[in-house]
Amino acid sequence: MNEGREAFERGIFLLGLAVLAFCAGFIVAMIKYQKSATTPIENVNIIDSLTAVNDSIKIKVEKLDSIKDAKVIEVSTLDNDSTLKLFYKLVSE
């Protein structure tokens, strides 16, 4: 009978340890989450910086688009001799 009681007490002790470990982990996770949580002002600053990066990328794309359009116009106005010269130039590169 004594062995059964000891096993029961050991089980209760291990269960108590598991509950304490879970509570400690939960508390640590909550503290870590609160430190990493951002305020609405920080969120606005992040969004503003992303918008600025997005706008600069749009400007670069528009610039490349205008360069491409200029090259298309340049190529479309070529006559046959100029087209062949351009073709040979491109092939040699």
pLDDT of residue 51: 92
| pTM score over 0.75 | no
pLDDT tens, N- to C-terminus, the chain (93 residues): 577 788 888 889 999 999 999 999 999 988 887 766 667 777 788 888 999 999 999 999 999 999 888 888 777 776 777 777 777 888 886
Instruction: Report how far apart, in Å, the C-alpha atoms of 67 and of each of 1, 60, 62 are.
Output: 91, 11, 9
Structural tokens at position 64: 């490349």
Instruction: Report how far apart, in Å, the C-alpha atoms of 50 and of each of 12, 35, 59, 80, 87 are.
Output: 54, 23, 14, 48, 42
pLDDT of residue 24: 93
pLDDT of residue 19: 93
Instruction: Report how far apart, in Å, the C-alpha atoms of 17 and of each of 3, 12, 23, 30 are.
Output: 21, 9, 10, 20
